[in-house]
Chain A
Amino acid sequence: MPNQTNPNYVISADRLTKHYGNFAAVDGISFDVPAGESFGLLGPNGAGKSTTMRMIGGVSQRTSGKLTIMGLDPEQHGPEVRAHLGVVPQQDNLDEELRVRDNLLVYGRYFGLPMSYLKPKADELLEFAQLTDKAKAKVDSLSGGMKRRLTIARSLINEPKILLLDEPTTGLDPQARHILWDRLFRLKESGVTLILTTHYMDEAEQLCDRLVVVDKGQIMAEGSPATLIREHSTREVLELRFGSERNTTVAADLAGIGERLESLPDRVLIYTHDGESALEQVTARGLHPITSLVRRSSLEDVFLRLTGRSLVD
């Protein structure tokens, strides 16, 4: 029988590890997700987020560690676990040989759902994805954003309890992203558990109740977006651009301003509780950046602090 270790968590990972040869894509990560939470995995490309998602879906076998989804081991009960899962993979894998509406119907059949349920559901989801007038179109005639929306609509065909979203808005324009975020909010309100990977900080901040920062297959930090920012960064950040030649050399002249200084190829970041006064100190030293910007700390800064690298390289 399935091990019901902790029924309060819908997903429980304990020292989860995945090796490809000698390479550890996921290197002993542990986390628990309660029902209805919106949980994020934040990290750069190659951090092991997608591999973790694939193991949750039971389509990738773990090397070691424990993993339960609704109390079930996805390797032992793949079909049963996935019956309650909706998956939006990083790359759209729509069925190019089928038309738009048929993509939804056929996908629903994979879950063994009856046509009497699927037909109205497919129409409802086409409406949701704003693709009603494309119902009979071929998939390869859709734009990138439309394909993404269809992939997301498809993931909802079985009314999943857990929705896995791997970089859901990558490649979408800002308007489409906001529409999608709104839809995800509504799903969350209806009690659906969202598991989200992203390398967009704003997305993580918008959608995640709680998140883990992942790098090189390991969890670097865990908490709500606000907590992580409070713990690992200052309130404000002063961004200065001196031109690509001078950004690194000017760092020495800025020493002592703010609490911490981060010198990147394209800009210098000064972490401080008061950005405006930091800027005054900079100009007082006779330094004149080409552009300057005071902003609030974001998860990007948390990531930079934890790993020494930016999220989007």
Chain B
Amino acid sequence: MSNILTEEDYRVQVKDRPFSALYARNAKAVIARGLMATKSSNWLIMVSGFFEPVLYLISMGVGLGALVGTVVGPGGEEISYAAYIAPALLAVSAMNGAVYDSTWNVFFKMNFAKLYQGMLYTSLGPLDVAIGEIFLALLRGALYATGFTAVMGLMGLITTPWALLMVPASVLIAFGFASFGMGITSYMKTFQQMDWINFVMLPMFLFSATFYPLSVYPQGIQWFIQALPLWHGVELLRQLSVGIFTPATAVHITYYLVMILVGMVLTTARLRKLFLK
């Protein structure tokens, strides 16, 4: 501050590059902020997120499983009910975490905590914020998935090393939902509208072959469920949990790659609507 500014100081040179209005290549600052905030204040909320699927697994898998006994797994083999629903619960948890982080969390930080308002008055562009937040959501998802897989291992529900692939696959699922969620949030203006998200999520959780096979439905409903993203996540993780790979595995993965691509295009296109009003 000691040097007095001159006219020269006010001359600024810029290079034109793609997305320069939206992206300053500094998403790492957003990520660093997220980690620091987690460390200093909201680690407890994070820990609670880990327990949710574990509690479901104990209640439904162990409790309800005692009544159900064994069921037919993805490869046609008999597996315990807990082993059947555990990968599905992991897929649901990946979805819920990613959707929460990319919708409610973004909505709150945008409109109430005014966090992004502060960030966007710096050199950061909206794409830096979006990438940073999605990365944090995925990092958290990866930690949860690792913890849940460890719990599955402790409960004796893992029989093959292939099951470890559930962790990266969970991140893939989370990425698909997070990239879409942020784009969808850009259309939301009130809390009531945000509630619609839950209205879609809950039935998807209950009916996407999470707790019983798809074959219980009539053909038309099966097609409908198969068009929804969660079913692909559930089936993908269920296959990985027992190390079965079929052409369907590739379809599930492709479904998510396309979802990520479309979601990122949507979110990027909506960034100005989301952040620059």
A residues near B (Cβ < 8 Å) are: 1-2, 7, 10, 35-36, 57-61, 70-72, 75-85, 87, 89, 91, 93-99, 102, 106-107, 109-112, 156, 158-159, 161, 186-187, 189-193
Contacts and interface: CB of A to CB of B under 8 A. Distances in A.
Contact of A72 (B14, B42, B119): B14
B40 A98 contact: yes
Contact of A77 (B21, B115, B119, B272): B21
A168 B21 CA distance: 28
15 contacts: A59-B117, A59-B276, A61-B272, A77-B14, A79-B20, A80-B123, A82-B122, A93-B114, A95-B37, A98-B36, A110-B119, A110-B123, A161-B9, A191-B6, A193-B10
Contacts of B20: 76-77, 79-80
A98 to B, nearest CB: 6
A266 B125 CA distance: 48
Contacts of A95: 33, 37, 115, 118
A77 B14 CA distance: 8
A109 B123 contact: no
Interface stretch (B24-32, B91-99, B217-225): B24-32
Contact of A82 (B40, B123, B275): B123
Contacts of A76: 20-21
B12 to A, nearest CB: 5
A109 B29 contact: yes
Interface centre among B4, B114, B118 (most CB of A within 10 A): B118
B216 interface: no
Nearest to A71: B12
Contacts of B26: 109-110, 112
Nearest to A92: B114
B5 A190 contact: yes
B14 A80 contact: yes
B29 A98 contact: no
Interface residues of B, number: 44
A59 to B, nearest CB: 5
B121 A89 contact: yes
Nearest to B120: A59
Contacts of A79: 20-21, 23-24, 123-125
Complex A-B, nearest 9 residue pairs according to Cβ-Cβ distance, in ascending order: A191-B5, A110-B122, A93-B114, A79-B24, A97-B37, A109-B29, A87-B121, A93-B118, A83-B123
B12 A84 contact: yes
Contacts of B23: 79
Contacts of B275: 59
Given A60-B276, A95-B115, A70 B10 contact: yes
B10 A112 contact: no
A75 B125 CA distance: 11
A159 B117 CA distance: 20
Nearest to B273: A61
Contacts of A57: 121
A80 B33 CA distance: 21
Nearest to A77: B14
A110 B31 CA distance: 10
A4 to B, nearest CB: 9
B123 A161 contact: no
Contacts of A71: 11-12
A187 B29 contact: no
B130 to A, nearest CB: 14
Nearest to A157: B122
Interface string B28-66: 011011001100111000000000000000000000000
A106 B40 contact: no
Nearest to A151: B118
A179 to B, nearest CB: 16
A78 B4 contact: no
B33 A98 contact: yes
Given A80-B12, A191-B5, A109 B33 contact: yes
A93 B117 contact: yes
A93 B118 CA distance: 6
Contact of B114 (A91, A98, A192): A91
A97 B42 contact: yes
B7 interface: yes
A60 B277 contact: yes
B117 A36 contact: no
B123 A106 contact: no
